[in-house]
Structure 1
Amino acid sequence: MTYCVGLRLDRGLVFMSDTRTNAGVDNVSRYRKMFTWTQPDERVIVMMTAGNLATTQAVVSMLDERTKAPEERSPSILEVPTMFQAARTVGKVLRDVIRESAPSQGPDAESPFKATIILGGQIKGAPPRLFMIYPEGNFVEASEETPFFQIGETKYGRPILVRAYDPDMSFEAAVKLMMVSFDSTLKANLSVGLPLDLLLYETDSLAIKAQRRIEEDDPYFNLISDNWGEALKSAFASLPDYEI
């Protein structure tokens, strides 16, 4: 399984993904699910993937190949003029890969090759944008009403995002929020696992602000995990008891 979150702030974008994939309890592996394409002072594009691993790897490979040898009818994501066009390009590649993987299936058939993508970033001359791209190739954009997207195992990490998110929060607070969301998911679902990949993008910088991998022995993540558990116990104990 997978857990990835893309968060839109007033000051930029925050991305975090896990690295665990599994095909049963005895077949667990680690694969990167966060990918970037950058041009200094011109654009930063970040993509996170969830779903069939063969599908997502094929999508990433095709996007990479187009940046090295662009096709006339299929511009690379380093050439498109807007993030909207980048989302359209990624959506088309995803749809084509899924169709080619299961050519005998009808358009309404449930495909085992499905995948979902979070795409975000900024191209010079336009504001940062964040999209969620579906297996069919269509997509939706983050907004004030829907400021973050999750893909993969979403339910365990969602409550803290809904309750604690603030568009004006600092990057430091946003990272803390993400870590709590991921810790809640890790505790509840063994199919999501460390290490985690984190990336911060600051509006109009046109460069990655920070990018790092959070390993099992990361002191800050472990501090957040321990303190969050104690804080939940304390908050629960402080609630009034039910009267029988």
Structure 2
Amino acid sequence: MTVEIVTAAVLVIGDEILSGRTKDKNIGYIADYCTAIGVDLKEVRVVSDDEAAIVDAVNALRAKYTYVFTTGGIGPTHDDITADCVAKAFGVPLDFHPEAIAIMKERLAKSGGELNEARMRMTRIPRGAALVANKVSGAPGFWIGNVITMAGIPAVMQAMLDEVAPKLKTGAKLMSESIRADAKEGDVGTELGVVAKEHPDTIIGSYPFLDETMAPNTNIVVRSRDAEKLAAAKAAIEAMLVKVRAQLGAA
């Protein structure tokens, strides 16, 4: 039986990375993530905010690998040109996406912000692309062909990667469980790291949010292609949370 080898490349976009002003935190995370789910990360490129460079890199990488993950350049400013470049690479128009607009309007209605011209830039999606949900800050990424375009902000990129991971070809379905911590992310971070090391065949992520009382809280998501390993990691997380909450209560 022949096992398909699934490959990927990462394309990091942004002058701020190349200038050293921003230190990349996404490459290593994506590399670990791909390894855990059975995708072979074969190449990483970093390019400036230059249209020709981005288009050339997208076309070269998407022809060579199963998937291309891009990070950066989908924000509200004039130099956020990734969407434009991906659309050009695929030879399709860049449209204001109705669902993306609705997502932004709903998000801004809660925060009191305005859907101005700058924020509308983040609703421009290459025609034919599917949205990639952004549970952290609202503005979506997108997936067209084998190119998955994500934000450069690490927390947002990680959440987007979690959204697309179950849809990637990996040889087995990636299952997930979500656990509400009822604790701040900083209260469980160290202990969660220990659990992750003890369960190397799972992917564990933590996502801070404000709960119904507007108090800081955390959702912990654990993923695995093995049901038994998923259950074991979930049980370990739940046991860890019981101890952490007891310590917080006694403090």
TM-score when normalising by structure 1? 0.28
TM-score when normalising by structure 2? 0.28
Determine which structure has greater relative contact order: mean sequence separation of CA pairs < 8 Å that are 6+ residues apart, divided by chain length. 1
Structure with greater helix percent: 2
